[in-house]
């Protein structure tokens, strides 16, 4: 079920987290068989936490998996809003490799206003991009990308009105403040070139943006993402209209 771009799978609330984990694992296994590796990019937030917990129990060749971040808040490593904390809590016991976004490098050298120093930030993003290209080629092709969907239609840290939504040259960029924090986020070209994008969508507040996403509504940031293969795993509440 779905439009020509996104395939929609509706799963009962009780099975949603396991179904999301199963779909991620299936896509990862396809990559491991075809390319002998898997580059897995994960979004943050509370929604994917039970999915990642279930994913960790899958018997994959985890030593051939590299975990990247879709986005990250510019907060210290011990801050409760740091996405990496939850991701590593779920998968940190597995023999995966990690390529987290270079938030700590940006925080280490603030300007007089407490913002990331532009020169230091640019150098950190160049270094990180070089590592990404070493792993995923240039332009980079990730194997599996997990995206979420905000009630305002944002995805990753691509938020309406932020120039980051229209960034087509860089693979990673710094955003304006959103919900109290500036962020680093991967950009549209990375998502569009991914082998597989799996959206995890849950809750009644996601119903309107979900149907706008399915309709190809370009006025929401999620609507501009055009991946090769896109699967949305949603619970019934997220698919109810009216």
Distance CA 151, CA 78 (A): 27
Contact 182, 174 (CB under 8 A): yes
Is the dihedral angle over the CA atoms 138, 102, 197, 32 positive or is it negative?
positive
- Contact (CB, 8 A) for 19 and 232: no
pLDDT tens digits in sequence order for the chain, 242 residues long? 445 789 999 999 999 999 999 999 999 999 999 999 999 999 998 889 999 999 999 999 999 999 999 999 999 999 999 999 999 999 999 999 999 999 999 999 888 877 888 888 899 999 999 999 999 999 999 999 999 999 999 999 999 999 999 999 999 999 999 999 999 999 999 999 999 999 999 999 999 999 999 999 999 999 999 998 999 999 999 998 75
Q: Give burial (CB, 10 Å; 0-12/13-18/19+) of 161.
A: exposed
What is the model's pTM? 0.95
Q: What is the pLDDT of residue 116?
A: 85
- Which CATH class name applies to 6-239? alpha beta
In the prediction, which pLDDT does 242 show?
Answer: 52
């Amino acid at each position: 079920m779905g439009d020509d771009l996104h395939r929609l799978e509706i799963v009962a609330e009780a099975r949603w987290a396991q179904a999301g984990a199963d779909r991620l694992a299936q896509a990862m296994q396809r990559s491991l068989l075809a390319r002998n590796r898997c580059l897995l990019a994960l979004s943050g937030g509370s929604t994917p936490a039970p999915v990642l917990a279930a994913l960790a129990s899958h018997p994959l060749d985890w030593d051939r998996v590299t975990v990247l971040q879709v986005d990250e808040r510019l907060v210290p490593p011990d801050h409760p809003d740091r996405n990496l904390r939850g991701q590593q809590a779920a998968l940190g016991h597995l023999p995966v490799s990690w390529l987290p976004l270079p938030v700590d490098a940006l925080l280490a050298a603030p300007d007089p206003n407490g913002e990331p120093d532009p020169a230091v930030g640019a150098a950190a993003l160049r270094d990180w991009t070089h590592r990404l290209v070493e792993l995923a080629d240039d332009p980079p092709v990730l194997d599996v990308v997990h995206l979420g969907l905000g009630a305002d239609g944002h995805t990753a840290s691509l938020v309406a009105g932020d120039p980051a939504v229209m960034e087509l040259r860089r693979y990673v960029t710094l955003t304006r403040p959103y919900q109290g924090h500036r962020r680093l986020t991967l950009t549209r070209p990375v998502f569009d070139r991914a082998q597989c994008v799996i959206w995890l969508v849950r809750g009644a507040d996601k119903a309107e943006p979900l149907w706008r996403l399915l309709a190809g509504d370009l006025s929401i940031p999620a609507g501009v993402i055009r991946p090769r293969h896109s699967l949305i795993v949603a619970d019934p509440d997220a698919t109810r209209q009216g």
